[in-house]
With several copies, the nearest count.
Chain A
Amino acid sequence: MTESVHSEAQAPAKTDVFGFLARFAPLIFLIVLMTGFAIGEPRFLTPLNLFNILRQVSIYGLLAVGMTFVILTAGIDLSIGSLVAFAGLVAAAVSKGGVSNRFTVGAGQEAASYGWYLAALAAIGVGLAGGFLQGFAITRLKVPPFVVTLGGMSAFRGGALLFAAGGPISGFEPNFVWMGQGRVLGEVPVPVVIFVAFAVLAHVVLRYTRYGRQIYAVGGNPEAARLSGLNVRAVITSVYVIMGFFAGLGAFVLAARLNSAEAVAGTGYELTVIASVVIGGTSLFGGVGTIFGTVIGTILIGVLLNGLVLMNVSAYVQQIIIGIIIVLAVAFDTFAKSRRRVG
């Protein structure tokens, strides 16, 4: 696309202002935004509200962590919203004790109900399968990720609608629901714990493992990676599988949180999630980005949505502001990075 300049956050930490800016641009932007909201509405900074924000972003966050892997290879996944819907329905059906009695209403205390972990496994299984299928189409049919996952977006949504036959599935057993609505250590919502745990895991994988380096290498220059002996196809397929894993996990947490799963769930998530990842400094051209950035990007969007609602900004104006802020956040990051190094 255009000649924007991006670069790895792993450059040696020097004491130059622009280097610092470049490294922490999204964080700085987030802090400025939060300060603004805190001044406009003091309730914004209450622990209750901050935990609300974190809980609200945790599902987007899980998806964004998976999407970071995909975008690092210069790929994209537009299908996740649909996949979340599909996987959530399957988890819900499992929790209700199978496909046949999925529409029974009630708290799911039926004898046939399966445990939450089986529901979670089912959701993740669906996610993995969906991701693998797409990764396969991308690497074997050589169709660009944008197109494959656009197709997947339509196909998985159709599958979800078919599965749900129009009705939401709701009312799960309490343990399942706890995964979405419970709290640990007094205040901390369970989805936040799940999000943080997997974000840390993903960070370690990307930063400290061979596999992580391979992802950066494939994203940075796929032909070079191939000639260096990396199995580029396997790496590319794997990131869609990972994305599928996170879609399944996210679907499970979402269903638990809503105590319900429906075929229209997740509509439009793909764009919000991609925006989070990019705001966090990951380059759409691949090879550059961190999980830390993605977490910041996700929180930034959550703060924006929450803050604007709290400040009672009209819904329409909210959309305008969000659009502008997304662009400004990335512009700020790009600017900081371009100043760090002469291109």
Chain B
Amino acid sequence: EKHLTVLFALPDLAFPFFVHMADQAKDEANKIGDIDLIVADGQRSSPKETADVEAGITKGVSGIMISPNDVDALAAGIQEAVDAKIPVVTIDRRVNKVPGILGHVGADNVKGGEAQGQLIEKLFPDGATVMNLQGQSGASPAIDRNKGLHNVLDQAKDKYKFIFEDTAGFDRSKGLAMTESALAGMPKPPDVIVAANDDMALGALEALKARNLLGKVKLIGFDALPEALGQIKAGNMTATIEQLPGGQVRGALQVLVAFLREGKKPDQQVTLLTPIAITSENLDKAERLNEVK
């Protein structure tokens, strides 16, 4: 067994979603054994994450796992790693431009947004009024999730009306304030509130609670955080989107280790896990259900 040092570059460790990824990676690394895992925080900045990759190259890591902050902007950094003959596995978001990436394990954000849209279609086959809390302006997951949602619902524009759309910056208190303001300005509450992450959905939840609309307005989040799962269990939230981050990370690390220790290339270069909408009916499919106490 060869001792390995693996760099895991993440876009933002201030967000629970990525922290969970990091925890899962550490756990998997322990399970596999004899792996030093270096976790680097890109702090939401592509140049910073590029610098993290470069630091990894300097350190001479055996392999790199990366969840890119932005697929285009990180291409240069990943190319450097590939050029330095360090195997790279991408997670979550796929970098097409760089040839020679060992593999990709991910669940597409656009697909996740589409799952939100499909759920709305399922819940309201006859149409609905939709309030959409978007993620941080300009950030690529925000753009992609929004795009997926619109991909689905815009096909039936006359049925599904976006009566309110604004960014709440992935932030819980903005989600709350925005929902309050929006509800105050609407003659009638929307049928469904859909948010680009669970944080904003949980903020909206507090606003709904204050106006006694809990359960009356459907509320859909994204990321399947334990807290959201708990609220779904309690019936206060309708759904969230599970991208199986733990599964992605574990799969990616296995691919990397297999290559480094046995020289085995993955069977398929790209492994896509399909994001699923978690509702009270399929809660058991959620990765982090065990964290709900």
Direct contact between the two chains A and B in their complex (CB within 8 A): yes
Q: Are B54 and A167 in touch, CB under 8 angstroms?
A: no
B27 cross-chain contacts in A, Cβ below 8 A? none
Q: Are B75 and A259 in touch, CB under 8 angstroms?
A: yes
A41 cross-chain contacts in B, Cβ below 8 A? 59, 185
Least CB distance, A267 to chain B, in whole angstroms = 7
Contact A254:B47 (CB < 8 A) given known A48-B184, A105-B227, A170-B72:
yes
7 contacts between A and B (CB under 8 A): A44-B185, A52-B55, A56-B54, A168-B172, A254-B173, A257-B50, A319-B137
A-B contact count (CB 8 A): 194
A interface residues, how many (CB within 8 angstroms): 48
A181 cross-chain contacts in B, Cβ below 8 A? 76, 206, 209-210
Interface 0/1 of A243-269, CB less than 8 Å to B: 000000000001001111011110110
Least CB distance, A100 to chain B, in whole angstroms = 13
Least CB distance, B199 to chain A, in whole angstroms = 7
Give the 7 A-B residue pairs with the shortest CB-CB distance, closest first: A166-B19, A263-B138, A315-B41, A170-B72, A260-B72, A258-B73, A264-B138
User: A113 on the interface (CB 8 Å rule)?
Assistant: no
Q: Are A258 and B19 in touch, CB under 8 angstroms?
A: no
User: A338 on the interface (CB 8 Å rule)?
Assistant: no
Which one, A44, A52, A55, A161, contacts B138 given CB within 8 A?
A161
Interface 0/1 of B8-23, CB less than 8 Å to A: 0000011110111011
B interface residues, how many (CB within 8 angstroms): 68
Contact A309:B166 (CB < 8 A) given known A105-B292, A161-B138:
yes
Which one, A48, A267, A306, contacts B51 given CB within 8 A?
A306
Q: Are B206 and A165 in touch, CB under 8 angstroms?
A: no
A139–B93 Cα gap in the complex (Å)? 47
B202 cross-chain contacts in A, Cβ below 8 A? 170, 258, 260
Binding site for B on A (CB under 8 A): 41, 43-44, 46, 48-49, 52, 55-56, 59, 85, 103-106, 157, 160-161, 164-168, 170-171, 180-181, 254, 257-260, 262-265, 267-268, 305-306, 309-310, 312, 314-316, 318-319
Q: Which parts of B196-215 form the interface with A (CB within 8 Å)?
A: 199, 202-203, 206, 209-210
Q: Which parts of B49-98 form the interface with A (CB within 8 Å)?
A: 50-52, 54-55, 57-60, 70, 72-76, 97
